[in-house]
Structure 1
Amino acid sequence: MAARWLKVLAAAPLMLSALSAAPAQALVPYVAIPQERSLEGAGLGIAQAAARLLRLGQAEDAARLAALTVQLIPSDPRGWVLLAEAQLRSNQDKEAAVSLAKARELDPKNAGILFAQGSLALKDSRPSEAAELIRQGLKLDGNNAGAYFDLGNAFILMGKPGDALGAFERASKLRGDFWEAINNQALVLYAQNKDAEAIKRWRRVLEIKPAAEPNLALAAALNTKTPGNTESLELAAKALAEEPNYVLDSWQKEQLWGPRLRSAAARLLSEPALKADVDRAQANAGGNDDLGDE
């Protein structure tokens, strides 16, 4: 287009002289205003790029692109959900809350948005609000295992162990390999002095996923029954090597371990045979803490 006009002007010197003789006026450049369909297409293209960045773990870059998406297509709730997810993954919780609120305003019947708001409330230590949001979402989508897991965690923080156990059991029924839900069932059962059932479920977890948390929790429970037994020592050493933070009482508490299990873990970790493992874990853990601190 620009080259074409240059040719026209070059071929018309009389026109140029006439323009120079005319009164001075502001020249208004021609601006192409994109059509709504073009904006939507551009916004969706940017959203796809943002989603790719999110999958690659580049959350901050994804958030910047997703912000462009909602500017181009502000009435599409999918863009706001994408922006919220990118913000959550880049630790922009306040901004994510705003984005989720906008998404919910545009799509109030979207269970996923309610679940996300519930998870954010849970992360922000508002378990009652979290539980209410999740329950609203479950009315729309009653087969979401992750939502039941979050609901169970909210119930633990609200001091409702029976409701928590029910939620965790529902989560594991919906997804048989949901080891975190089975692990948290054991946490509740152990806090209720139902040691045999808790131990049974931790063993079931380890058949699915030999993770640090069930290893150390099972070790602590077994050590209470038979102090210094070989299995407990081996499980504890394995757990601390995989995740040193479990040496910290504060970390255990953050994972919703009750006072009874934390005390059992403190007794286990004071075993002389574990001294080298405990010292190494404390050196590598993310903070300092006293064992057995309740």
Structure 2
Amino acid sequence: MPKKTSLISLLVVCSLWIMPKHANAQALIPHTVQLDAAKLEKQGLSLAQEAASLGQFQQYELALPRAKLASQLAPKSDRVWFLLGGLYLQTKDYNNAIASLTKAQTLNPKNAAVQFALGSVHFQQQKYQQAANFYMAGLKIKPNDSEGLFDLGNAYYMLGKLPDAIAQYNKAVSLNQKFWPAINNIGLIKYEQGDTQTAIQKWQSAVVLDKQAAEPLMALAVAYYTKGDQQQGITLGEQALRIDSRYANLDFLKENLWGTRLLADTKKFVELPRIQAAIQQSASQPAPR
């Protein structure tokens, strides 16, 4: 009985906190929380910084929720929307990437990086003319951006405008003489045009600028092997695959704008026993980010 009594007493006490008093018939007025907009925006920017750090380490599943929340807390920050759009782009969510980047563009029409990012979204969707238009819009704002020039060159390359592509690559190199990807891509075009010697010279120049650049090294390997210098070709191929084994993957090479002729020669090259052994040896190594 004592336990039952104490329980009843407890219920009575609790009911005093939740039952309205008969002496006051007025309804309860909800307490309104006053939100500090400046503080919320500051929290949003802090979240965006966390998301950016996570994105650098490719932890997109952790980065995206933070960036989404940041865009709600700091909706007037074009930088936050730009970050969110970039993360969507990395995860291939192109519709949300375009929506977020368009929001950033609306907030700050003079941000060239947003134009370049919109170009990248359309490039990934194989909408090369639209991509070129966005790259050109970005270059109107920031004409001396070597990466923007390089991206425009890639769009022209995919549109079959090869002289225009080479012109943009050369502009990029004139602004940044160590920008080996542009030199490398000139080599890709020259190889497809049958000018193997110029292609080799371009890839040699790219390797001199960055000895850890697997792409021009692999292209050189294929070119040397195909023209008859088999031993040098195999040695360079093994070296390239030790750096990055993805360059034995034809689909990956196609994504990196390798043309039909070079892909056909690479297919034969990667089937060689020594190259197959190099691929197997590097298979256990993590791919570079």
Category of TM-score, reference length = shorter chain: 0.7 to 0.9
Match of 2:66 in 1: 65
Please report how far the alpha carbon of residue 30 of structure 1 lies from its aligned counterpart in structure 2 after TM superposition.
Answer: 1.7
Match of 1:182 in 2: 183
Distance in 2, matches of 1:152 and 1:177, equals 17
- The residue correspondences of 1:150-189 to structure 2 (distance < 5 A) are 150-189=151-190
SS in structure 2 of the partner of residue 20 of structure 1: coil
Match of 2:217 in 1: 215
1:188-215 Cα shifts (integer Å, max 9, x gaps): 1112222222111111111122322211
8 Å contact from structure 1 (residues 241, 277) kept in 2: no
- The residue correspondences of 1:220-239 to structure 2 (distance < 5 A) are 220-228=222-230, 230-239=231-240
Closer, same or farther: CA 51–220 of 1 in aligned 2, 3 Å: closer
Which amino acid is 1:213 matched to? E
Distance in 1, matches of 2:163 and 2:270, equals 29
Distance in 1, matches of 2:195 and 2:153, equals 18
Match of 2:133 in 1: 132
TM-score by length of 1: 0.81
SS in structure 1 of the partner of residue 203 of structure 2: helix
Distance in 2, matches of 1:123 and 1:54, equals 19
Closer, same or farther: CA 59–269 of 1 in aligned 2, 3 Å: closer
Closer, same or farther: CA 247–49 of 1 in aligned 2, 3 Å: closer
Which consecutive residues of structure 1, in runs of 5 or more, have no partner in the other structure? 1-15, 286-294
1:116-159 Cα shifts (integer Å, max 9, x gaps): 00011111111111001100110010111111111111111111
Distance in 1, matches of 2:154 and 2:181, equals 11
Aligned residues: 265
- The range that moved more, 96-105 or 132-141, is 96-105
Identity of aligned residues (%): 36
Match of 1:143 in 2: 144
Distance in 1, matches of 2:59 and 2:251, equals 30
SS in structure 2 of the partner of residue 108 of structure 1: coil
Distance in 2, matches of 1:25 and 1:51, equals 51
Which amino acid is 2:224 matched to? L
SS in structure 1 of the partner of residue 186 of structure 2: helix
Distance in 2, matches of 1:153 and 1:260, equals 18
Does residue 277 of the first structure (1) align with residue 278 of the second (2)?
Answer: no
Which amino acid is 1:76 matched to? S
Closer, same or farther: CA 56–240 of 1 in aligned 2, 3 Å: closer
Match of 2:27 in 1: 26
Alignment RMSD:
2.5
- The range that moved more, 157-166 or 203-212, is 203-212
Match of 1:11 in 2: none
- The range that moved more, 47-56 or 62-71, is 47-56
Please report how far the alpha carbon of residue 282 of structure 1 lies from its aligned counterpart in structure 2 after TM superposition.
Answer: 7.1
Which amino acid is 2:54 matched to? L
Distance in 1, matches of 2:152 and 2:233, equals 31
Which amino acid is 2:210 matched to? K
Distance in 2, matches of 1:62 and 1:206, equals 35
Closer, same or farther: CA 34–65 of 1 in aligned 2, 3 Å: same
Which amino acid is 1:87 matched to? Y
